[in-house]
Structure 1
Amino acid sequence: MKVLVTGTAGFIGFYTALKLLKQGHTVVGLDSINDYYDVNLKYGRLQESGIKQSNIEYGATVQSGLYPDYSFVQLKLEDKPALDALFEQEQFDAVCNLAAQAGVRYSLENPNAYIDSNIVGFMNVLEACRHNGVKNLSYASSSSVYGLNEQMPFSTSHSVNHPVSLYAATKKSNELMAHTYAHLYGMQCTGLRFFTVYGPWGRPDMAPFIFTKAALKGDTIKVFNNGKMKRDFTYIDDIVEGVVRVIENPCKASSEWSGKQPDPSSSSAPYKIYNIGNSQPIELMTFIEAVENAAGVEIPKDFQPIQPGDVVATYADVSELESDMGYRPSTPVTEGMKRTVDWYRNFYGMA
């Protein structure tokens, strides 16, 4: 297939593009390369994909020097005319939308950025798919949508009507928007709720990266909610395996779905929601120990109260991913953090 992957200078998008290429697909990558975090890391990922920073110019397609079937374009999803032109020119078979303004805490300070990228941008993707005959759409949602829900493990059959951050609200909105397009236009729309993704090339605003950096530099880390948090930390390779299986196996309408007892995760339209998580939540202090063991040092800790927008625990029920795709994540945190720390040392010249 020819697949558009948005967010390919980002963490999950970078890996997804490479995995699709290895599977024999043609990939067009797209990213705005915004400065939400260090752009050098974004350009580093692109360089790893054969896309040279010096060749990147807004709106122009750049051919990878490493992968003949990979090209990249810097574009904002909010730029509707340019996005429409790209769709018309390329005629994609499938679209995987992983571009978004990420981060829970940042959404408290910069709410408009989330509406522009996650709502307006996603709307433009839906419309471009609709007008160019793209039926196969997968997109990133988030475990954040579970919000105030305390029923564990989090199941896609649970209600997600009580988000605690605008970021989560935009992801819930994406799911609703996708269902509308699945119902009205027969687009096969699959949403993927990711659970605390970590690994080499990870995001520097997330705990695994922050803890690794602190361990290797001797800095103190802030431990929120006094360490009494649980997270379903999921290794990047496990996430991407799930994403690619979904792209290659677009969802179908459910013949068993009933409007009298509506299941939120499926529909009479070709619409589906999956959790992708390790399904083994661990306490924050246990995770910090895994970082310390991988780095060979103890990290000084500053215990803090819980932050606005944070949830106390996440825990993915991945039974539907397993039954439909024959797959469940399995990488243990000890192994995943060892690889992450090794990458960090190498990338930042601390080997």
Structure 2
Amino acid sequence: MKMNKLPLAILSDILSRVSSQSLLRFRCVCKRWREAIDDSYFRNSLHCSKERVLLHHEYGKEEIYISEIQEEAAMKMILIGKFPELKGYMLQGACNGFLLFGHWTDIENNPELLINPLAKEILRLPRVSDLLPNMSAIKLVCGFGFDRSANTYKMVQISEIDYDEETHTRTTGARVCNFKKQLWRTCKAPPPSQWLCSKSVFACGALNWLIDKRVKATLSFDLTSEEFSLIPIPISDDSYGATGMHEVGESLALFLYRISNTTHLETWVLKDATSTRREWTIKYRIDTVGKFYYVLGPYELEKLILHRWGDTCLYDVNKQRFTRCGTEDMALHRCRSVTLSLVSLEQLFGEETSGRL
């Protein structure tokens, strides 16, 4: 039986196992395939992509690329979309295939942008000026994630209110947007901190930001309780240095360097960022043979993408093996490991979402 003659349910089940990138091409095969792929039930329920890709966006540019990773071969940069609205913007968060961008220089006059690069959709998410009138945003960071308990997406804005030059401490205010209720509200501000990483990591039902290493903690926002908390990180002394956080296997993972006679990259995992115990456990210890790698994120099962200038590789944690891939002329330090999705922003948030928030 030909594929275009299959019952729709069987055709949808087969296509649900195909990658998001391939589905974009398959939409052009025939009218029946396009209808199956564009069906809202298929996109929202059947095709739940967990494939991870290396996404690349250079600050201020309109192009979004993904890197095709091939073992023992150079990576290929694939353009997946141009968005003129991204000029002046940088990536601040990602969740379920949606990307959150914030303006880097003029945050008062430029709203956050929510983009689905595969579906070529973009939503403007303006702020509500009367919620926090004293927040003359000197600096603003955002996060975007999914609250399973309420079955809705939420966005958080953390804005700097004051800065103490003597203690180098920032006082901040915060608010959260519930997309289902299409409502903004203020929430209790996070604890004062010295520095907050602009990129958030969504894991275990919480948004997480890495704080200045002198604080030795991460800032976590529980999307269900809508409360901030500090989670101490497992750094015992100054011989440790944090290189970043990622979501690995649905857990929050922190990557630390242990510097002694040799260099080790350690992966610590927080099983439940919303738990009251909040205990870190070490999952991997990688001998990097004296080289300092940045972790760009997970790739496939039990593999990590490691990068240093002129040297990018996949590390198989089970086989403890490095496989080189990439070229030195690629700006991979700007990449981020994300999932892609065909789910429409319009289907999730409605046609007039940006006007109602």
More helix by share: 1
Q: TM-score with structure 1 length normalisation? A: 0.29
Higher strand share goes to which structure? 2
Q: Tell me the TM-score normalized by structure 2.
A: 0.29
